[in-house]
């Protein structure tokens, strides 16, 4: 994914529509969280097994795909507005997660994976 | 961003820790939405102008960067589990948004941008 | 629950701290959604059965209780700021849900329960 | 608001439709967070001032009222399933907030109000 090229296209899309004043980081964070809420709706009454069995063509799968695209778009747009290098931030986070969750200590227990600190 | 390579690394990270049983699409959607909630926390008491003025070194900016990384990681992981091609889904969505929000009709009015239909 | 008395106390709590300028409906909606994100965190790696087995004294139960209180507080505060009569709105919604989800049509299928329309 | 009577009616509503198996705390938390996402949608492109100016009859106000009702319903239902006494939890939380945010220390600075601990 060419994040910079996508960010330029999304910025142009907003600029052409005079939407820039609406795209404050605060508002984009709300829009992103609203999309996350729509993603939850797809899965809320499904069992975990049902969620794992969704496949292309299933209504739930198609809805999920659509929400994932919306989430990626708002994520790119918000990173752009804040000046966050998304790729570098992901690399840094993976590195820190590896330090914080050593294989031997957390094996088989995802509850030890707390993103709270 | 090499999404496939990142997805392979994130899958290996989970596999080494025996976290795969926890990573159902349902659970990953919850984790992603929880991260979106943390992102909201960064901005909830800031004005839009304050949110736009955040810069590297500011506590809010650093927190936001961290949450954006978490969101990207869960987005990649969830797309991988569902078999969604994130890049293609984004392209398709941008194409549809261009059709649905013609410049002349929506200029200056982001409220016409409804992702609800 | 005496919602009006609680709303008066919460308004006084905010006024004493000069927090009223921060308590726009927009900001309170963000704070409420952020709390909902924290609630998700409690349950995201638990199975449905584990979530149903939580009991007082369990860390997850205590965290959930805390988040439910926060959610109720922000809900009361936001309803107050918007001038929504929460109790009447709930009665009206229950009435409409009964019309929209007739027992015979939706029995055993919660996926028919869509709050999307 | 007679929370216990409402909880009995909501439990009966679910039982009549055989929806109880879907109403695990995990799923109800997801449904509640999805409603919070819909609430965000109402406010995401509005300024704070616009959000404060919403009045009965405005489309945004009516949507917000509807979402607040949904949120209250899921909050009551989830508290019921977990065995949380919502009213007591709120009282306890207000008491703790008063201790944690002494008027003199936090006046005019809502950012000191962190619900994160």
Cα separation values, D117 from B33, C66, C67, D96, Å: 19, 10, 11, 11
The residue ranking higher by pLDDT, D28 or D116, is D28
Please, which pLDDT band fits residue B116 given cuts at 50, 70 and 90?
very low
Residues C53-91: tens digit of each pLDDT: 999 999 999 999 999 999 999 999 999 999 999 999 999
Indicate if the pLDDT at residue B10 is higher than 70: yes
Neighbours of A80 (CB within 10 A): 20
- Angle, alpha carbons D98-C67-D42 (nearest 5°): 100
Calpha distance A72→B85 (Å, rounded): 12
Residues B13-61: tens digit of each pLDDT: 999 999 999 999 999 999 999 999 999 999 999 999 999 999 999 999 9
Q: And the tokens for D8? A: 């009995």
Residues from chain A contacting residue B52 (CB–CB below 8 Å): 24-26, 81
User: Long-range contacts for D100-108 (Cβ within 8 Å, ≥24 apart)?
Assistant: D101/C17, D103/C16, D103/C17, D106/C17, D106/C19, D107/C17, D107/C18, D108/C17, D108/C18, D108/C19
CB contact set of A114 (below 8 Å; sequence gap of 6+) = none
Which residue of chain D is at minimal alpha-carbon distance from B34? D33
Calpha distance B107→A14 (Å, rounded): 9
Which residue of chain C is at minimal alpha-carbon distance from A112? C45
Cβ pair A41:C116 closer than 8 A: yes
**Are the C-beta atoms of C76 and C86 separated by less than 8 Å?**
yes
Q: Which of A83, C44, A27 is nearest to B77 (CA)?
A: C44
**What is the rounded average pLDDT for all residues in chain B?**
94
How close does chain C come to B45, measured CA to CA in Å? 6
**Are the C-beta atoms of A65 and B82 separated by less than 8 Å?**
yes
Residues A37-80: tens digit of each pLDDT: 999 999 999 999 999 999 999 999 999 999 999 999 999 999 99
Indicate if the pLDDT at residue D112 is higher than 50: yes
Indicate if the pLDDT at residue C114 is higher than 90: no
Calpha distance D57→D67 (Å, rounded): 15
Q: And the tokens for C31? A: 């704070």
Nearest 10 degrees: Cα torsion D84, C51, C76, A25: 150
**Are the C-beta atoms of D14 and D77 separated by less than 8 Å?**
yes
Q: Where are the alpha helices (DSSP H) in B17-85?
A: 25-43, 48-53, 59-82
Annotate D78-112 with DSSP letters as a single string: HHHHHT--HHHHHHHHHHHHHHHS-HHHHTT-GGG
Cβ pair D41:B116 closer than 8 A: yes
Residue in B47, B111, B116 closest to D45 by CB: B111
Q: Which residues 44-83 in chain B show a CB within 8 A of chain C? A: 44-45
**What is the rounded average pLDDT for all residues in chain A?**
94
CB of A106 less than 8 A from some CB of B: yes
* Longest CA–CA separation in chain D, Å: 52
Q: What is the pLDDT of residue C51?
A: 98
Q: What is the pLDDT of residue C117?
A: 36
Q: And the tokens for B57? A: 């070194």
Residues A78-87: tens digit of each pLDDT: 999 999 999 9
Residues from chain B contacting residue A25 (CB–CB below 8 Å): 43, 51-52, 54, 64
Residue in D40, D68, D89 closest to C33 by CB: D40
Residues D12-36: tens digit of each pLDDT: 999 999 999 999 999 999 999 999 9
Indicate if the pLDDT at residue C112 is higher than 70: no
Q: What is the pLDDT of residue C2?
A: 97
Residue-range domains of chain B with CATH: 3-106 (1.10.287.1080)
Residues from chain D contacting residue C54 (CB–CB below 8 Å): 25, 82
Residues C4-46: tens digit of each pLDDT: 999 999 999 999 999 999 999 999 999 999 999 999 999 999 9
Calpha distance D96→D32 (Å, rounded): 24
State the DSSP code for A44.
Answer: T
Residue in D30, D70, D98 closest to C93 by CB: D70
Q: What is the pLDDT of residue A117?
A: 36
First to last CA, chain B: 30
Residues D36-76: tens digit of each pLDDT: 999 999 999 999 999 999 999 999 999 999 999 999 999 99
Residues from chain D contacting residue A40 (CB–CB below 8 Å): 30-31, 33-34, 37
What is the value of ipTM here, to two decimals? 0.94
How close does chain D come to C19, measured CA to CA in Å? 6
Q: Check the CA dihedral B71-B77-B80-B82 and report its sign.
A: negative
Cβ pair A34:D40 closer than 8 A: yes
Residue in A30, A31, A41 closest to D34 by CB: A41
Calpha distance C92→C86 (Å, rounded): 10
Query: Helix, strand or coil for residue B27?
Result: helix
Please, which pLDDT band fits residue D116 given cuts at 50, 70 and 90?
very low
Residues from chain B contacting residue D113 (CB–CB below 8 Å): 45
């Amino acid at each position: 994914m060419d994040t910079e090229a996508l960010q330029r296209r999304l910025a142009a899309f907003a600029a052409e529509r005079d939407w820039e004043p609406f795209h404050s980081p605060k508002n984009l964070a709300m829009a992103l969280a609203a999309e996350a809420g729509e993603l939850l709706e797809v899965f809320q009454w499904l069992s975990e097994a049902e969620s794992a069995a969704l496949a292309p063509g299933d209504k739930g799968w198609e809805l999920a795909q659509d929400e994932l695209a919306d989430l990626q778009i708002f994520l790119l747009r918000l990173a752009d507005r804040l000046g966050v290098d998304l790729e570098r931030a992901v690399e840094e986070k993976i590195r820190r997660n590896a330090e914080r969750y050593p294989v031997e200590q957390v094996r088989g227990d995802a509850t030890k994976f707390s993103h709270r600190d």
